Amino acid sequence: MNEAAPSRALQLALPLEWGPDERGESFLVGSSNARVVERLERWRDWAVPVGLLTGPAGSGRSLLARIFALRQDADVIDDAEGQAEVAVFHAWNRARESERPLLIVASARPPEWAVTLPDLRSRLGASEALEIGPPDDALARSLVARAFERRALAAEPALVEWLVARAERSHAGLMGAVAALDRASMERRRRPSIALAREVLTGNETP
């Protein structure tokens, strides 16, 4: 029996797109999240048909779950920390019995997610662990460039590089930097530039 070919996401040095979902949004794949995408594509290899997808705010975990649901006809429980634990517990059991995949989306695994129901805690521990990590350099560039594009802002490659090097290295931090630059650009009626970004991120105005 031939071994399955490795995921294309793991063969590419530059980010690629996985998706889209029902709204036409696609998920950017880089080295920091490629394993998650690969395991979602091969969910039939999981010990149980339930995955626990975690990641920081702004990491695209909800988008990734929507795409997975469309591609695999799967069920999804988003923002699982805010759901009744008994409901999540029964959904886990149904997935195991029906063999229909279930993706549970949360910001963190237990014990960071303070699950009080022992049976649910044990089932989450048996689920496929899928964790989105902080963006690597290539993915950070792509995320920033796409954020500018979605805001219809023209951004030179040098500006993208400047932000990636200086903004907080997190999904939320990078998106926050672009949002702050967008606001400053509108308020001051200046196009996005490194000079304006320096003022926004450091508070030091260009002489």
Q: Which of 2-11, 86-95, 135-144 has the lowest mean pLDDT?
A: 2-11
Whether 39 and 89 share a structural domain: yes
Report pLDDT digits (tens) over 161-188.
Answer: 999 999 999 999 999 999 999 999 999 9
Domain presence at residue 155: yes
Report pLDDT digits (tens) over 94-139.
Answer: 999 999 999 999 999 999 999 999 999 999 999 999 999 999 999 9
Domain presence at residue 102: yes
Residues 6+ apart with CB under 8 A from 95: 48, 49, 50, 75, 101, 102
Q: Which residue has the tokens 């290899």?
A: 45
Torsional class of 175: left (φ above 0), alpha (ψ -120 to 50), beta (otherwise) = alpha
Whether 159 and 121 share a structural domain: no
The CA distance from 130 to 36, in Å, is: 5
Residue 207 confidence (pLDDT) above 70 = no
The CA distance from 48 to 35, in Å, is: 18
pTM, rounded to two decimals: 0.85
Residue 205: predicted pLDDT: 53
Residue 89: predicted pLDDT: 98
- Can you read off the two tokens belonging to residue 97? 């019995």
Whether 118 and 39 share a structural domain: yes
Percent of the chain with pLDDT over 70: 91
